[in-house]
Amino acid sequence: MTNVMFDKIYREKIQNFIDKRMYTYDIKDILKGYNDYKRGWYVSVTMKDCITHLETPIKKILELDINKNYTYNKSKENFTNTNEGD
């Protein structure tokens, strides 16, 4: 399977979870929320629920570097949104 195929699978897992819980987030919200959480910033209870249950697919999406808006810093173990700065 290609990275694009894996990316699609992980995004579907995230979207299915969002739909099942009837949250109003989109995938970009979850990726940003994960980054905020890893920085130690406050995230809502519902975002924490998403992060807790979706950490693996979130990490995989960001590590695949398909999402060009985020870069992974392994030494800091966080993701930086290149459109918003660090």
Domain boundaries, the chain: 3-79
> How many Cα atoms sit within 13 Å of 25 on the Cβ side?
26
Residue-level pLDDT at 5: 85
pLDDT of the residue at 7:
86
pLDDT score for 16: 97
Q: Which residues of the chain have pLDDT under 70?
A: 1, 65-86
Q: Are 14 and 54 in contact (CB under 8 A)?
A: yes
Confidence (pTM): 0.73
Q: What is the pLDDT of residue 50?
A: 98
